[in-house]
Structure 1
Amino acid sequence: MKKIVYSLIVFASLFMVTFKLAQIASAGTYGQYGGEDESGKVMVDKLVRHPQTGVYVDNLGLNDPMYSAQATVFFKIIVENTGTRTLDEINVVDYLPMYLQYISGGNYNATSREIRFTFANVAPGERRSTILQAKVYSLSQLPSELTVICPINKVVASSPQDGSDEDTAQLCIKKKPMVAPEAPKAGDPMALVMGLGSLTTLFGGFKLKQKYA
Structure 2
Amino acid sequence: MIKGTRVVTFLLSGFLFLSLGQGALAQYGQYGAYGPYGQGGQSNSILVDKTVGMNQVTTKGGTTSTTFVDNLGSTDQRFFAGQTVSFKIKVKNTSDHKLSNIVVKDTLPTSLEAVDVKNYDSATRTITLSDNLALNAGEEYIYTLNTKVVSQEKLPTDKGVFCVYNKAVASNSMVSDDDAAQFCIEKKVLGVKSQPNAGPEYGLGLLALQMLGLGSGTYLKRRVK
TM-score > 0.5 by shorter chain? yes
AA at the equivalent of 1:180: K
Contact kept in structure 1, 2:44 and 2:175, CA below 8 Å: no
Q: Which moved more, 1:18-27 or 1:62-71?
A: 18-27
Q: How does 1:1-213 map to 2 (within 5 A)?
A: 29=33, 31-33=35-37, 37-52=41-56, 54-105=66-117, 107-118=119-130, 120-160=133-173, 162-178=174-190, 179-181=192-194, 183=196
**How far apart in 1 are the matches of 2:102 and 2:39?**
26
Displacement after TM superposition at 1:135 (Å)? 1.0
Displacement after TM superposition at 1:182 (Å)? 5.2
Question: Sequence identity, in percent?
Answer: 36
**How far apart in 2 are the matches of 1:41 and 1:68?**
38
**How far apart in 2 are the matches of 1:106 and 1:130?**
14
**How far apart in 2 are the matches of 1:70 and 1:81?**
35
AA at the equivalent of 1:86: K
**Runs of 4+ more than 3 Å apart:** 12-40, 181-188
Contact kept in structure 1, 2:46 and 2:176, CA below 8 Å: yes
AA at the equivalent of 1:134: T
Alpha-carbon distance change, 28 to 169 in structure 1, aligned in 2, over 3 angstroms? farther
**How far apart in 2 are the matches of 1:70 and 1:60?**
18
- TM-score (norm. length: structure 2): 0.66
Q: CA RMSD in A?
A: 4.0
Alpha-carbon distance change, 73 to 37 in structure 1, aligned in 2, over 3 angstroms? same
Structure 1: runs of 5+ lacking an equivalent: 197-213
**How far apart in 1 are the matches of 2:102 and 2:122?**
22
Displacement after TM superposition at 1:105 (Å)? 3.6
Q: Which moved more, 1:171-180 or 1:148-157?
A: 171-180
Structure 2: runs of 5+ lacking an equivalent: 58-65, 210-225
Q: Which has the larger radius of gyration?
A: 2
Displacement after TM superposition at 1:41 (Å)? 2.6
Q: Which moved more, 1:14-23 or 1:113-122?
A: 14-23
- TM-score (norm. length: structure 1): 0.69
Alpha-carbon distance change, 17 to 33 in structure 1, aligned in 2, over 3 angstroms? same
